[in-house]
Amino acid sequence: MIVRPDGEAVVAGPDAVAREHDSAGLYRGVRFSHGVGPLVLGVPADELVGRTVPLVDVVGRVSDVGSWLRSRLRDLPDDGPWAPAVFDAAARGVPVATIADRLGWSARTLHRRSRARFGYGPQHLHRVLRLQRALTRRREGSAWAAVAAEVGYVDQQHLAREARALTGRCPSDL
């Protein structure tokens, strides 16, 4: 959720690929992780993938965004620890079948529930989180080839292909 310089509050849905915005002014925002956004907003994440929509179109008129948000976070529905568990497992590169098995679900159920909470399935979530890990390791000073091996890419070219697929840029530009 972002409050633009003009005061309009918008919801930026999850992105399957990176988006860049050229804009001036002071923006304030809240990023929801581990699938919390759909619980706060009351809208499945896959309905907002790649979109930025006015908050009013998602939740109705809100007079004070901060108060509304505090209230929603205080009264957040609880559907168990599955979403943070899926997020953490995907971040560690655990195979989708293993994640589903640990939850006692089919791979299809895991995919459907992940789309509603994260905006995409567990495999795509894994790809995004793996690239984030790679970029973190590189910023810490590791060489690209070492980074690729450490975070689970087949080789440095695999890392480069994934970076271009997810961001439109080669890793060194990131």
- Tens digit of pLDDT for each residue in 38-60? 999 999 999 999 999 999 999 99
Strand partners, 10: 2, 54
> Which region among 31-35, 37-41, 104-108, 154-158 has the lowest average model confidence (pLDDT)?
31-35
Q: What is the pLDDT of residue 23?
A: 76
Instruction: Write down the pTM of the prediction.
Output: 0.86
Q: Is the pLDDT of residue 163 over 80?
A: yes
CB burial of 133-167 (b: ≥16 within 10 Å; e: otherwise) equals bbbebbeeebebeebbeebebeebeebbebbeebb
Q: What is the largest CA-CA distance in the chain?
A: 51
Is there a contact between 156 and 143 (Cβ–Cβ < 8 Å)? Answer: no
Amino acid found at 58 = V
- Is pLDDT of 31 > 80? yes
